[in-house]
Structure 1
Amino acid sequence: MRWLHLRLRAPLASFGGEAIDARGVIRDFPAQSMLTGLFGNALGWTRSMRKEHQALQHRIVFGAAHEEDPGLRRMTDYQTAQIGKRDRAWTIRGVPAGRKGGPQTYQGSHQRWRDYHSDLRLTLVLRLDPGDDAPTLDDLGASLKRPARPLFIGRKPCLPAAQIFEAWIDEPDICAALRAALPEGRDYYALWPYSEGAAGADVTRFVTDERNWLSGLHGGARRICTGRLIGRDDG
């Protein structure tokens, strides 16, 4: 079975979770929706191509492993913004946003807290199911080598420090592909889909990491496994 091997390297990265009020939290691993958006950006897709994004998200099967302990490499960025009555902020909807309400809403500043992974080093293997539909795995690999637009790992300030495409791997299953992609000599904190088998998992649980690209909302759940995998270097 053929796998696309990616390496995510970045001074800062954000694998966004469920935001609560002004706190932008992160998860340990990328979301299904984040990878869909990453490939859509590399392919040059626009946000209006909702059906294409939805179909690609449904086909992605991926596993990932941290090469460093993610709990030791996190930081929180504290942000403030003073927004007056006539100030406008950019939005992804293309319509400027501003303050609404009485004079009391113009006092003080907006406060935000954004969590990040710092010095990210993540190995990821991926295939598409079904594999014959467009875009193919070869299309995704080619788009990462020569992306149509600048890529980022989560939020837009999170630029990769190196090319994301690493190699192609042939292995019978997702855990074998991850072991082949990781440096040998130690074990690594890893994630893979429960549908690919739970052997070797320390924990199985449900995550909500998909986006309904037709409505623009996040929802639904899938079952994942996390555990420790030992790297295997075949030279």
Structure 2
Amino acid sequence: MRWMHLRFEAPLAAFGGEVIDARGVIRDFPAQSMLTGLFGNALGWTRAMKAEHQALQDRIVFAAAHDDDLDLRRFTDYQTAQLGKADKAWTTRGMPVGRESAASTLSGAHQRWRDYHSDLRLSLVVRLEPAEPTPRLEELADALRRPARPLFLGRKPCLPSAEIFRTWVAEADARSALSAVLPAGRECYAIWPHSETAEGAHATRLITDERNWASGLHGGARRVCTGRVAAREDPR
């Protein structure tokens, strides 16, 4: 099977998880929906192209590994905003926050906490199943080389510091493809689809990282493996 080798390198990145009101948490690895959005942005797609995003998300198969898995660096950014007049702030309670009286602003600042990865270095391998409908893997690679719009890794402040697409890899499954692209001599913390292989897994679990692009909500679940993957001694 043919895989794209991608690299995420950035001072800041945010692999978003389930947001609970003011706290924007992150996961260890990018979500299926985040990769879909990244590819769609590179292709120049708009948010109105819901069917195209859904079809692409359903085809993505990927695995990822951190270079520096012993110290996944994170920090929390504290943010405030002053809301005035008819301004509203979204919450997961379904009740927007706004002015409590006729005053021109809220009595206090509107507060938010956002988690980020720092000094990110992540290797990924990606293929599409099935391979033939457009966009094909080659089209995604071309779009990442010459994106229609600026790309970001999770949130808009998270700009990549290096080219994302690197090369092509031919391997039978995601874990083998990941092993072929890891830095020499490394054994890294990784994630890969359980449907590809469970070999070498330290744990398997269900995660919710897909988006229903018609409704805009996240749902469903897929089984993944996590564990350590060693770089192959004879990289191709």
Bucket of the pairwise TM-score, normalised by the shorter protein: over 0.9
Q: What does residue range 209-228 of structure 1 map to in structure 2 within 5 Å?
A: 209-228=209-228
CA shift, 1:87, in A, is: 5.2
Amino acid aligned to 1:38: L
Unmatched tracts of structure 2, length 5 or more = 91-95
CA shift, 1:101, in A, is: 4.6
8 Å CA contact retained: 1:85, 1:98: no
Give 2:93's aligned residue. Answer: none
Q: CA RMSD in A?
A: 1.9
CA shift, 1:102, in A, is: 2.7
Are residues 33 and 141 of structure 1, via their aligned partners in 2, closer, same or farther at CA, if it must alter by over 3 Å?
same
Q: What does residue range 1-235 of structure 1 map to in structure 2 within 5 Å?
A: 1-69=1-69, 71-85=71-85, 99-103=98-102, 106-232=106-232, 233-234=234-235
CA shift, 1:69, in A, is: 2.1
CA shift, 1:234, in A, is: 2.0
CA shift, 1:183, in A, is: 1.2
Amino acid aligned to 1:173: D
Amino acid aligned to 1:31: A
**Per-residue deviation, residues 177-215 of structure 1 (Å, max 9, x unmatched):** 101100121210000011111111001000110000011
**Per-residue deviation, residues 136-157 of structure 1 (Å, max 9, x unmatched):** 0000000000000000000000
SS in 2 for 1:175: helix
Amino acid aligned to 1:152: F
CA shift, 1:83, in A, is: 1.2
SS in 2 for 1:38: helix
CA shift, 1:70, in A, is: 6.8
8 Å CA contact retained: 1:15, 1:27: yes
8 Å CA contact retained: 1:83, 1:98: no
CA shift, 1:171, in A, is: 1.1
- Which whole-Å CA distance do the structure 1 matches of 2:70 and 2:97 have between them? 36
8 Å CA contact retained: 1:209, 1:218: yes
Normalising by the residue count of structure 2, what TM-score does the alignment of the two structures yield?
0.92
8 Å CA contact retained: 1:86, 1:98: no
SS in 1 for 2:195: helix
8 Å CA contact retained: 2:22, 2:113: yes
Amino acid aligned to 1:35: L
- Which whole-Å CA distance do the structure 2 matches of 1:83 and 1:70 have between them? 41
8 Å CA contact retained: 1:63, 1:124: yes
Unmatched tracts of structure 1, length 5 or more = 92-96
* Greater helix proportion: 1
Amino acid aligned to 2:154: G
8 Å CA contact retained: 2:173, 2:197: no
8 Å CA contact retained: 2:78, 2:113: yes
CA shift, 1:86, in A, is: 5.2
8 Å CA contact retained: 1:22, 1:113: yes
Equivalences, count: 229
- Which whole-Å CA distance do the structure 2 matches of 1:23 and 1:103 have between them? 28
Amino acid aligned to 2:222: R
